[in-house]
Structures are given as C-alpha cells and as structure tokens.
Chain A
Amino acid sequence: MRHDHLITAKQLSREDVESVLDRAAEFDADPAAFGDRHPDAILGLCFYEPSTRTKMSFETAIKRLGGDAVDMGTVESSSVKKGESLADTARVVAGYADALVLRHPSQGAAKMVGEFVDVPLLNAGDGAGHHPTQTLLDLYTIRENAGLDDLTIGIMGDLKYGRTVHSLAHALTNFDASQHFVSPESLKLPRSVRYDLHEAGANVREHTELDDILPELDVLYVTRIQRERFPDENEYQEIAGEYGIDLETLEDAKDELTVMHPLPRVDEIAPEVDDTEYAAYFEQAHNGVPVRMALLDQLLEGDR
C-alpha cells in the first residue's frame, strides 16, 4: 500500500488489505520482536472524542515498533479549548510527528486535515463517517475465524450512524461476501453508503429481523444501538431488546458462527455469550495492535 493518508476504507484495494493483514500476522506472532523497526518515529495522537481501544492500540503499536507517541490530550486540556481550529492544531502537531492519528466528531474532518498536513494521516473515526483502521482489524479477525471469501456476514444494529459499519461494508466489496444488514427502519444504512455499495455491485440485502438470516451467517457483526440518537425514549425501548443477542437467540445459528462487536457494548451481547466459541470480540480488540503496527510500518516506511 502506498497512500499518504488513510481517510476511508474506499481507498483500500483487495491487495492493500491483504498486504496489511499478512504483515499484521507477522507482528501478531511475536509483537515484541520488532522494537528496532522505527526507533525514531513519533506518532501524533489527536483525539477530539473519548476513545479507549483505538487510542491505546495506536500508542501500543508505535511503541512496539520502537517509536513513541505524543498526545494532544483531551479537548478540555488543549488549545482547542481556546478556540483554535482543527486545521491549525493538526498543522502544529504534524510539525512534531512523523504521522498523525485523528478522531473527531465531525464527518469529513479527516479529509479536511489531510489537505493541511504533509505527514501521513490516519482517520481513527470521523463522526458517523468512516473508521478504516477498525475495518482492517475487523477484516483480520474475520479472516482468522471465517475466511474472507464465500462469506455470508450479518451486520446488525445502528447502521445509520455506525462508522465502523460504513467502512466495513465498503471494504467487503473487495471480497466474495454476501452482506446482510439488520436494523430497525429508522437506523438503516445512509443513502451515501447504499449508493457506494450499489456502484460497487455488492451483494447486499436489508432486514429488520435477525431471525430472517441468522442460520445462513458465518459472521454476525453487532453494533450498539445508540440510545442518544432517539428523540423518543419509548421508541428506543421498543426496539432495543430486539437487536441484542443471547444464547437463546443463537440457537438457530451455525456452530461455527463468529460473533463480533467493535466495542464498547452495553447490552447488545449478553455476557453469557462471552465464554462460547462464538465470541470473537475481545480477540477483535486485541487484533488492533498488530494490525495498526502493520499499517504504521507501511506508512512510515513509505515516508522515508
């Protein structure tokens, strides 16, 4: 892969994905063995929203490669609080670092910052837009558990605002995957994602009931129904339970079904699922480090 920035999963070809995942597998086998890969590299972390997994996995990844991270800190403790624009903050941090990671609540923020900085930029989530590095670790997890071809995947929950869903859907168009989207009517895929999937000729179906498709699935990717998106609490309560899973829900699933979730979960997956062979979501979170090591390795290598 040779991109200056990673803004959306649409940039990734099948070859790009496979290249990152293959390299990630090498790092995954012995993550402590690569401490001399990028000994002088500094990664700038600009997180305008709270994050646990994404931020810590990027920080761990750069340290595993021998580099270090500089962190803008919280919005409240930074110059953003004084009214500094995102464009200015990013340019300043880009002056300190060899690559930037940006998480921001506004859609399109990463694309805009990419126009202002001359070091590689990684979009770590822009509002309801995209989250391409999450997608790479999702694909790594899917490949490990179910393979990436002849795949039937169900993606359930908040499909409208779920950025991990949008990026994953785009990336899966590179593979022989049937995509089944399960959500309440009010949280269906946005028009722009449907447009891209249609343009890509993707094999896509939409459902409101998981039961309609569950027995066919190799992978079930669950996301959180975001309570805060509903103007009416009663409307949320009516549908919330229907889009969660427990052992009873999974009775009709294939034995080899892989259940994933980008985390954090609230009540979409009952804890009783955690200890079953279905559960891959903690493994998925763990995979963030080797996958981000692979991605950083490629971007920093290309930057030399």
Chain B
Amino acid sequence: MSDHQLRVSKIPRGTVIDHIRAGQALNVLAILGIDGASGETVSVGMNVPSDQMGHKDIVKVEDRELSQDEVDVLSLIAPEATINIIRDYEVVEKQYLERPDRVVGVLSCPNHNCITNADEPVDTEFEVLDDGVRCEYCETIVREDLAAHIAVE
C-alpha cells in the first residue's frame, strides 16, 4: 500500500480529484465552494509523492459529483487533474480535463472598472487563451494566479 493511500482512504461515493498540481488543493476547494460550513466530508492530500508528477495534491469529496462549470474552471488551474466518479468504492467514470473555449460566471475580473464589477445584471465571461484568460467585457488579460480570481460565493 502506497503512502498516499494510507493518508487518504477510499470513499464510498463522490468524486476524487487526482493529479492536482502540488499546492493547488486549496484553490480546488475554493472553486468547489467548499469551506467546511456545508457539512460535506472532504479529504485533502497535499504534496503527496507521485510517480508521474513528483508531488501532487488530491481532493476527495464525498456524496458529490461536479458540474461542468466546476470542471471547466478546474481545467484552468489544474489542467493535469483527473476526475474520478466513485460509486460503491469503485471508480465508475474517469474524466480527463479539457480546456473550454470560455468560462462563464466563475472568475471575477480584476479590473475594478469593468462593467462586470458594477452592480449590473451580468455574469462574468472569460475567453480561455493558450496562456491565460481574457475578460469578454473589458478585455483585460489575466495570465498569473488565476485562482485568485475565482468568484466564490
């Protein structure tokens, strides 16, 4: 039995997000809106040894499957991640992330003067570039630290 299996045990049902770039697990939790207040059972492994990646993070969320919007944003900050849907302790579906063309309503625009930061009935919308994202409204390009712009309720 490997080290990380000892640290993070199997779950009966839910989602395992594996092969997260080391250090990004807390951002993954932020994307999923998990702050511990809603009572979900969550296991987190950080800087777990990995043959493939050297070190990786891993997040297991019980009794929850991810929406496509959540998967789309995950692909921006954790492009190598795999998403495993678990039922009865078994992986019934394994999903590799694909970068979407755009993400809607999940990132906030860092430009304070962008109309999406005014009190208007509009969702944020970002075009996904090769090396970042671009606000569809004010056109601001964000390349660094995308996780800091995740719009968490």
Task: Give the complex CA separation of A108 and B115 in angstroms.
Answer: 5
B120 contacts A87, C-beta separation under 8 Å:
yes
| Distance (whole angstroms) from the CB of A265 to the closest CB of chain B | 24
Given contacts A108-B114, A109-B115, contact A87 B122 (CB under 8 A): yes
**CB distance A85 to B114 under 8 Å?**
no
Nearest residue (CB) in B for A193 is B139
Q: What sequence of 0s and 1s flags, for each residue 98-128 of chain B, a beta carbon within 8 Å of any chain A beta carbon?
A: 0000000000000101111011111000000
Task: Verify B121–A85 contact, CB threshold 8 A.
Answer: yes
CB pair B113–A128 under 8 Å, yes or no, is: yes
**B135 within 8 A of partner (CB):** yes
* Nearest B-chain residue to A130, judged by Cβ: B139
Set B115, B120, B134: member contacting A192, Cβ < 8 A: B134
Known contacts being A87-B122, A192-B141, is A107 close to B111, with CB within 8 Å? yes
Is B70 an interface residue, CB under 8 A from the partner? no
Shortest Cβ distance from residue B115 to the other chain A in the assembled complex, whole angstroms: 4
- Do A105 and B113 contact each other (CB < 8 Å), given the known contacts A127-B138, A195-B141? yes
- Interface residues on chain B, number (Cβ under 8 Å): 18
Residues from chain A with a CB closer than 8 A to the CB of B118 are 86, 106, 109
Size band of the interface chain A makes with B: 20 to 34
Chain A residues with CB under 8 A of B115: 86, 104, 106-109, 111-112, 126
Complex: A126 Cα to B114 Cα, angstroms:
9
A195 to B111, CA, bound (A): 17
Q: Mark A163-203, 1 if CB is under 8 A from B, else 0.
A: 00000000000000000000000000011100100000000
A208 nearest CB across to chain B (Å): 23
- Residues of chain A within 8 A (CB-CB) of B116 are 108, 112
Bound-state CA distance A115–B119 (Å) is 16
- Min CB gap A92→B, angstroms: 14
Residues on the B chain within 8 Å of A105, using CB: 113
Judge whether A290 is part of the interface by a CB distance below 8 angstroms: no
Task: Give the docked Cα–Cα distance between A112 and B136 (Å).
Answer: 10
State the CA gap A109–B119 with chains docked (Å). Answer: 12
A107-B111, A108-B139, A112-B115 known; 14 other A-B pairs, CB under 8 Å?
A: A87-B121, A87-B122, A105-B113, A106-B138, A107-B114, A107-B115, A107-B137, A107-B139, A107-B140, A108-B114, A109-B115, A112-B137, A192-B140, A195-B141
